[in-house]
Each structure stands twice: as structure tokens, then as C-alpha cells.
Amino acid sequence: MKAAIIAECVVLSLSFGASGAQATEILLAVMHESGKKPELHKVNLKDGACIQLLANFREQAKNNRPIWLTLPQPDYTGMVIEAYCIMPDGSKQSFTAGEPS
């Protein structure tokens, strides 16, 4: 799963830089609902929102609790397993959740 996410990051970075599209951050999140397989979700964010979201995840993870996130269009709520921010310049930051107690 991690190799697929990294490959998606590279593809997104390359296509994003070449497209001349408006500068946005891309959140890639591996999430799962109870009893279902993990799913990869992608959301475009602006103005530092992705990095702030990862910072919030890290802060919440200090309590060793699951991190739940609701994403729009289509609506999906799940527990975050991993999250990646792909910045307009192609750089990335990541978050990996620990085992909740």
C-alpha cells in the first residue's frame, strides 16, 4: 500500500507541475471504516490547510487515540492510517498513525 501511495505522489507531483494549474496542496489519506479494507482518498486543499491538518493529526496522536476524518465529495468518514501532503513545489510531508489503545 505504501509503494502505491508513493507512486501516486510522484505522478501527482509530475502532472501537477506540468499542468500549470492553480497552486493547491494535495492531501492523500489512507483511511478505513470499521470492518472494511483501507481506502486511499485524495482532496485538494489551499493556504496551508494540509500542513495544518497533519500538525493536528500529530497533536492528537500524542493521546494515542484513533484519528477520525470526514472528507467531502463523496462524503466519507474513516480512521486515518496514513496521510501525505503534496505541496505545489512537489515537496511532501507525511503522518503515520500509531496503534490506538
Model pLDDT, residue 21: 54
Model pLDDT, residue 22: 62
This prediction has a pTM of 0.73
Encoded amino acid at 15, one letter: S
Per-block mean pLDDT, blocks of 10 residues, the chain (101 long): 45 42 86 90 92 94 90 90 95 86 41
- Cell numbers placing 47: 493556504
- H-assigned helices in the chain: 2-19, 49-61
d(CA 44, CA 27): 6
pLDDT, tens digit, for every residue of 68-97?
999 988 889 999 999 999 999 999 999 999
CB atoms under 10 Å from CB of 37, counted, come to: 7
- Cell numbers placing 42: 485524495
d(CA 90, CA 12): 8
Cβ(69)–Cβ(29) below 8 Å: yes
